[in-house]
Amino acid sequence: MPPKSKGSIAPFEIMRKAEQQAQLEKQFQKDPSPSEDSTQKPADPSTSPHASPEPAQQRDPHPSGRAHKAWWAALDEPVLFRVPRGFLVCICLAILALIGMSYWVGHSRGIKYAENQVAELAELTKARLQNLNTGRIAPLPNNTLGPIDPATASLSLTERVIQVTGDIVVPPDLDPREIGLNYLQITTCSNEKAVDLIDFFKTRGVETAAYPAHNSKTVTVVARNGFKDTQSPQTPGYQFKSDMLRIGIDWWKYNSRIGSKLSDMYYNKYDDNDRQQYINRYQEYYGQ
């Protein structure tokens, strides 16, 4: 596209090869300018008797030096666009603004999603722990929970304890453990974490319960199954611990691979000393 005037710049130009550019420059050097063609007119051969008639020289209808080509033949030639500097700066600023806006929107949505997740988790925990208390509101008379209601016999140990006491910690009167058996100590954690852990093991077909720990704010989660022998690989106790370790890895994955895999669980033999210590802690922490 030729420029309109000497001071104007074409918005684009077609980049040609070196050979074509040299041929184009040579062609323009040979052809006279349009102003010269308009001022100088050729002599009339009829007025000059001595002049021999010469065939009129035909100008190249294509000053660019190109031959007739199909329109799609020019698609192989690159096109160079001229963009004003100020317009280019505006485009760059607009792109940066879009990037910043996208980051801000994504960051805001991420924060809002995290806040909603925390709120939902808090509501879920509150609904599940509505009957959970860190201590007894008032001790039961004569330090007894009475006989087990047959209607609650089908419930798990933790469900029965919550229904009777309003807490998850097993009282001595409802403790089903037998003296002389080994019980797997899974972990020591807060009451809220123990509820999640007990429910998780329940989905894996293993019943667990919470017992007093070293203070009133933590409990020890213990498997209800007791075993006499736990050292030999052929015994049920050894196999049970292996299965519990695999469930501990599932628990770690369930918590987005954060926290413990419960790999430090161990067997503890339940004897008379342990039971007396358990009763003393229960009375100290929970007022009974």
- pLDDT, position 131: 43
Residues in the chain predicted with pLDDT less than 70, given as ranges, are: 1-22, 24-25, 28-81, 118, 121-154, 288
The pLDDT score that the predictor gives to residue 74 is: 60
> What is the per-residue pLDDT for 155?
76
Q: Does any domain span residue 252?
A: yes
> Does residue 117 lie within any of the structural domains?
no
Answer yes or no: pTM beyond 0.95.
no
In a domain, 48, yes or no: no
Give the pLDDT confidence score for residue 139 in this predicted structure: 35
Residue 50 lies in a domain: no
- What pLDDT is stored for residue 30 in this prediction? 65
The total domain count for the chain is: 1
Query: Domain residues for 263?
Result: 155-286
**Does a structural domain hold residue 230?**
yes
DSSP letter string over the chain? ---SSSS---SEEE---HHHHHHHHHHHHHSPPHHHHHH--PPPTTT-SSPPP-PPPPPPS-TT-PPP--GGGGGGS-EEE---HHHHHHHHHHHHHHHHHHHHHHHHHHHHHHHHHHHHHHHHHHHHTTT--SS-SSPPGGG---SPPGGGTTS-HHHHHHHHHSSSBPPGGG----TT-EEEEEEEEEHHHHHHHHHHHHHTT--EEEEE-SSTTEEEEEEEEEES--SSTTSHHHHHHHHHHHHHHHHHHHTTT-S---TT-EEEE--HHHHHHHHHHHHHHH--
Position 59 in a domain = no
> pLDDT tens across 19-31, in order?
666 676 677 666 6
In a domain, 224, yes or no: yes
The answer as to whether 145 is a domain residue is: no
pLDDT of residue 82: 73
Residue 71: predicted pLDDT:
62
